Structure 1
Amino acid sequence: MLRRNVRLRKEYLYRKNLEGNEREIYDKKRKIREALQEGKPIPTELRNEEAKLRQEIDLEDQNTAVPRSHIDDEYANATEKEPKILLTTSRDPSAPLTRFVKELNIVFPNASKLNRGSQVISEIIETARSHDFTDVIFVSENRGKPDGLIISHLPFGPTAYFQLLNVVTRHEIQTKKEMGKMSEQYPHLIFERFTTQMGKRVMNILKHIFPVPKLDAKRIVTFSNESDYISFRNHVYDKGEGGPKSIELKEIGPRFELRLYQVKLGTLEQDEAEVEWVLRPYMNTAKKRKFLGE
C-alpha cells in the first residue's frame, strides 16, 4: 500500500510538472485558431510547427482543448461522490476542544469523529485513505483554546493551514431555552470577497468539504473574508411574522474566524510536499495588500 501511494504521488507530481509545456503548446494552438478564424497569416514563429499543431487541433474535443492543471486533478472526482470527512484533534484534547469538535462534527455533513489516542499523523492519513475519506480535518489547541484548523484533501492534497480565532460555541450563542436540535441539512454556501487567485483557491478547498444541498434546504453556511480574516457563520432561516415574503434568520453556531497561513501541494504527513503559498512576517507590514480578496 505504501509503495502504491508513493507511485501515485510521483505520477501526480509528473502531471503537475507538465503544465508549463502544455500551457506553451496551448498558447501556440490558440494563436493558430485565431489566425484561421480571422483569415490572417499564421504567425511567422509558428510556421515550422503549423502542420503538426493543426493536426492536433483537428483531433481535439471540448475535454482536451484546454490543458488541465494540477488543481483540476485534485478535485477531478469531487462531483462523482459526496465529501466524506475524518475529523480529529491533537492528543489529549481539553474539554473546550472536545466540545467544539463535537459541534464541527455536525457542521460538516458526512463527518466522522476520530479519537486520536496514540496514533501519529501518517497512520491517521493512511486509515482515511483506506476508508475512502475525501478530507481529513485536524483541530489543535493552545492552553485549552482551539487555535488551529488544518484541511488535508485526499488522496494527494492540497493541505490548507488556518489559524483559528474567536471560537464561540453554539452553547454560548443560544440559551438553553432557545436551543433546539442542530440542523444537519446540507447547507447552501455563501462566499464573500474571495476575489484573488489565492482567494479562489481557498474557496475551492472550503466548498469541497460540503456536499451539494437540496434546493429547499433552510441552512446557510457563510464564509466572509475581511482583510484576510475569514468569518464562519452557521444559520437557518424560516418564514417570519412580517408577511409571506419575510424571512427570519437565526444563528445556530458555532462561529469562528480563520486566517490562512500556508497551502501545501500534498497531504499533511508529506513533509517534502511543495509549499504553494505561505504567509511570511514581512507580509503583515503591507497593510493595503490583500491575499484572498478585497
Structure 2
Amino acid sequence: MTHAGMAATDVNVGAPTPVISVKPVVLPAPGRGEDLRVRVSAPATGNELPVIVFSHGFGESMDGYAPLVDFWTAHGFAVVQPTHLDSRTLNLPPDDPRTPLIWRFRVEDLTRVLDGLEFVEAAVPGLAGRLDRSRIAVAGHSWGAQTASMLLGARVLGAEGEPGEDLSDPRITAGVLLAVPGAGGADLTPFAAEHFPFMNPGFAEMTTPALVVAGDRDQSLLSVRGPDWFTDAYFQSPHGKSLLTVFGAEHSLGGISGYNVTETTDENPARVALIRRLTWAYLRTALGLGDSTWPAARAALAEAGEPLGRVESR
C-alpha cells in the first residue's frame, strides 16, 4: 500500500472481532404491500452495541455494502439493513401504485426498524439485550443517503420551495451521508425534474450531526451541476457537520457497494479503506464512544504525504 493509503488508515481501530449476520428478519409492515425484510449483523461478543441503520442505494438490497458493514460490525457496531421496495430483488413493476411514493416508503422503512429494534434483537440468536438504544446512527448511499437525511431533519421542498413534512427522528443522534444527492429545481436535468419530484431536498433544518462523504469526480446524470452537487447537504445545512471529499472518487466511492461489483466504475481499495475507517471514527466520536477517535483520524489524513481526501467541518 502507498504511504498515502497507510496514513489514511493509520487510526487505531483494534483487532476485528467475529461477526454474526442473520437474514431475513421480517418486520410486519401493514400498508406497505409486503413485510419489511432486513439483515442484521453484529459482533458476536460485547454489550451496549451502538446501532447503524443503513439505507441502500437504488436497486440494491440488504445484501449490499459488505465492505462497509463487515468493517463496522467487526469493530463494534450492530448494523441493520432493510431492503427497500425499489430493490431489484423485489422487481416492482414501474406502474405499481407504490412507485411514486417509494421515497416515502423508504423513510418509513427506517422508522419501522427503529420501532422494531426489540423484535430485531430477539430474532438474532445471542443478540437480545446487547443493543444500546441511546446510540443510534443512520447511514446511506446515494438515494439511501437522501432517505437517511430525512431522519436527520432534511425535508422535501414543495413547488414553491416550502418545506414538506418533518420526518426526523429524535432516536437518531448522528448520520453518515455517502454521495447524497444535492439541491433540486434548476440544478436537476429536465428528465430528473419531471420524473423525480421528491429530488428537491431542503437541508436548512437538517440539524442532527452528520458526516457527508463526496467524491470529487462524481458527475451525476441527474444534475446539470458538477461533483460539488453532492456537497450541498454539508454547505446548506446548519452547523455541526463534517465533509469528507474523496479525491478521484466517482459515485461508488471506490467500491463501497460490494466486493468486485460490476457497477463500480472507480474501484480503489485504498479509497474504501479510507471511507470505512473515517466513517467508523466519526460515528465513534459523534455517538460519544471515543472523544479522540475522530480527531485522530482527521490528523492521520492531514499528515499523509499524498492524502486520498480531505476533511472540513463547520
After TM superposition, the score normalised by the length of structure 2 is 0.27
Higher-Rg structure is 1
After TM superposition, the score normalised by the length of structure 1 is 0.28
Give 1 or 2: higher strand fraction: 1
Larger RCO (CA within 8 A; separation ≥ 6):
2
